[in-house]
Amino acid sequence: MQFEYEDIKFKQEKEGVNAIFLEIFSFKIKNEELERLGTYSVNKGKIVFKTNINERKFGELINKGFNSLTNLTNGKPTTYIHKNSGIPLMGNVSFGIIDRGTNILEIKPITSCNLDCVFCSVDENRRIRDFVVEADYLIEEINKLIAYKECNEMEIHVGCQGEPLRYSKLTYLIKKLRHNKAIKRVSMDTNATFLTENKIDELINAGFTRLNISLNAIDPVLATKMAGKPYQVTNILNAIKYVASKNIEVVVAPVIVKGLNDEELENIVKFAKNLNKKQKAPLLGVQKYLYYPKGKKLKEEEWDPFFERLKRLEKKHTIRLILKETDFSVIKTKELPKPFKKKEIIEAEVKCEGRLKNEKIAVAQNRTISFTGPAKSKAKLKITRIKHNIYKASIN
């Protein structure tokens, strides 16, 4: 009897079997736990038992393993959110789906990043847990939401707390979503460090129509300083050029930090302006560094000098740098009803830990609600913040 899974590859190690899940996550099963079920061996990623064993007991071992799932790239405990997890995909800012009442749905299949940018609004160093979402669960929920919205001009935007290319099911996810004819565009924010020519072709074939690529400096020393980790800017420039040579939009997206890379913006503009003369969408999406309480702390620049700089460069290089909502074909649509009101007191079931220290994720009325508090199975909460069906609460 053998156990083989598409997304789990088993590997025999000294103490037990290592189960590699979605390429970058893992959990361990002790040798003796498997031996209790029968004589086994591990062969080409499968677990093979000499005789028939109790399947239910094997399933229990796998489920128990998932409770100690770890991200191999950073050692963080990880929660797998799947159809049977009892955790809805609406309500949290770090995973699932964000519906801002428009034709653009932001989706977040994974958390975790390979860079440590000095301006990062998430600051992975403060996040003690990762999330990864089952692709089929996301597909099901996105399709339901699109049917509810009754909009045939939908865009799916992959915008993670981290780097979406760490999600090994990304191509699968987008390919499947593209079966929904209401989805006309698919875009993604990426730091491009995993973008080889083959990967870019794979993403285009899957159905991506635009890639927003962060590029914060052309100068290699400054680019590495901005990224906070070893970083090969030449590879990123080549990836951007390759994307631009294909039938897909590319948006070069620098984050400008006054005193750090503001002088470099002109070089980025010079690089981007000739990428694809035929592209209707703007070639650059310049952002100003903004301070978020849970992100990296730097000094914020005022808006006026930031826009002055953009206007000056727009004029000098005859390129548009100040963008409007209309540049991204945003259409207002129905938004899912919000089941709670601010200050409402609710009872919720506490499901798992959140990404921040002491943060918990509770569930009520098919929404998740984040709060800080002790680990209990139920909580009485007071809703403190509601934005686009994202909920925060405090213990009441």
DSSP 8-state class, residue 275: S
User: Are the CB atoms for 154 and 329 separated by under 8 Å?
Assistant: no
Please pick, from the candidates 87, 98, 120, 251, the single residue that binds ligand SF4 as defined by CB under 6 A.
120
Residues in contact with ligand SF4, counted by CB under 6 A, come to a total of: 10
Strand blocks (E) in 163-279: 183-190, 210-213, 249-252, 255-256
Residue 130 or 141: which CB sits closer to ligand SF4?
130
Residue 40 or 119: which CB sits closer to ligand SF4?
119
Residues numbered 243 to 302 that lie near ligand SF4 (CB under 6 A) are none
Residues numbered 176 to 215 that lie near ligand SF4 (CB under 6 A) are 191, 214
Residues numbered 147 to 166 that lie near ligand SF4 (CB under 6 A) are 162-163
Residue 171 or 214: which CB sits closer to ligand SF4?
214
> Which residues, 6+ apart, have CB-to-CB distance to 290 below 8 Å?
121, 300
- Which alpha helices (H) appear in 245-384, and where do they start and end? 265-273, 303-317
141 binds ligand SF4 (CB under 6 A): no
Q: Is 43 helix (H, G, I), strand (E, B) or coil?
A: strand
* Spatial separation of the C-alpha atoms in residues 97 and 328, rounded to whole Å: 19
Task: Return the CA Rg of the chain.
Answer: 23
Please pick, from the candidates 122, 313, 346, 348, the single residue that binds ligand SF4 as defined by CB under 6 A.
122
Please pick, from the candidates 22, 115, 173, 313, the single residue that binds ligand SF4 as defined by CB under 6 A.
115
C-alpha dist (Å) from residue 261 to 264, 299, 382: 5, 13, 42
Residue 126 or 311: which CB sits closer to ligand SF4?
126
Stretch that binds ligand SF4, among 48-56, 113-121, 244-252, 275-283 (CB under 6 A): 113-121
Residue 3 or 194: which CB sits closer to ligand SF4?
194
Q: Provide the pairing of β-strand 210-213 with 249-252.
A: parallel
Interacting residues with ligand SF4 (CB under 6 A): 113, 115-117, 120, 122, 162-163, 191, 214
